[in-house]
Structure 1
């Protein structure tokens, strides 16, 4: 009964404007990316165990305090990352509330929005496990990969703001729908091997953390191979779009953005490798990975067209 009363009261709240919904949608993508970036800063500064407990920072204290074993700077870097998780959670909850209140209410839009706070909660649990297990490389890898998945889903959520619940039809050449899943699969491999390179490399998050016992050079070459395959598939996608002749401008724009960010990320990766993996480039590379995820998910979303949602009798165009 109480739940029904709450639902009735929520249903009487007017929906937010499309502009507000888009702003929150963009904020979800940005905050999910920032939490991955700050996580990399925690790692390269050796601050992963600056707060040795979860949810407390140190025994008996939720916030950093003077401690003989943990430097104050490392404590605040780790604690700052945890505080940002709170911001990510607030934005994620706002995303769901706005999607639920929107009219007409659309099941897919609400489901994607619901994933945002649920995903943040799961990430919080993974973060706690990561600390409890003293930053084991594979747990840290799962933590990062979960963030990348959230960026992908947040991008789909952002695109869904203007989409109705009607059936999706392919936009662009039919073959694109067969190539993009392969492209996404290669991207997953690229990310997984990337976490292994980091797991075997020098940046453990804490000096005492055991590393992945595999040669970094070999893993780096495997990582680069996935990049070459990804680039080859991008070339194939470009040829498909060109041969189709009537490819929508939206697809061309999203494709061009993806090509640019992948080339920039590849150049950054090679620079990082040949300069001895400096800390600042590690964090920039993680930031670049978040942008690649966003651009790939944006192209994916743009390859399908759903009827635009009708609000107050006006047809709302899908953003580029």
Structure 2
């Protein structure tokens, strides 16, 4: 039986969010002393509370037009600050670079596949799409990276959950779509992609494939959190989000970052693009993790490379007002 009060988990109501939260709910319940195979015990130890966010309600516009990534976290974070929930499970790529005062990312579990997946009715790769083909995405980064490689493409805004986007592809609203491989895998749909984008050539969103467990600052050292932390993932995410911070990353900037650990060294590639894909600014670098604070070293690498990209790109990497 649980050995401490229940940990109330907040999550969005989408199928993917519930799948991700359910994975973490079982691990958190086990850390609290509950049997992870007993649904009733799991729910008693770590009850799941569904919260609909503004980002879920607004489906007809890009996030950059209505407030950015914070629309996927705002209501959940308010519930945490008000004491109605104790933690929240988010996709790391949906987390803004700066969190509200009083909240923190307290744990990062092991990362799933960080790559973007290419799905279509026929072509195997982005390069194989016909001239002027329609590519559906709601991501400014994916739009810019695709147009950088294929400026002839007709990139159209395609929002909605995974099922909705797959249905739109099947209905012919787009010739191809790009989705996070991690989300497809967590939904049991990992067989659907035709191919994957190379994360070094086409860096994903910072933190893509990783989950964030957000808590109040005073709860960040709760013992149960240690059971869900994954050190190597935290280091990679620290580097990528360092770049995001330096680039003032939000849904208004097309930013990609991908970090890899190689022994006691971390390697990072960062890029930012103009919305039309015409301009791309890119930096690569590495840093040693052998010091006393490897997470700070990883973050500093991201901040440094991100600052270089920001200095070179300037206003070109910001969309028109």
**Shorter chain as normaliser: what TM range?**
under 0.3
Kindly name which structure, 1 or 2, has the bigger radius of gyration based on alpha carbons: 1
TM-score (norm 1): 0.26
More helix per residue: 1 or 2? 1
More strand per residue: 1 or 2? 2
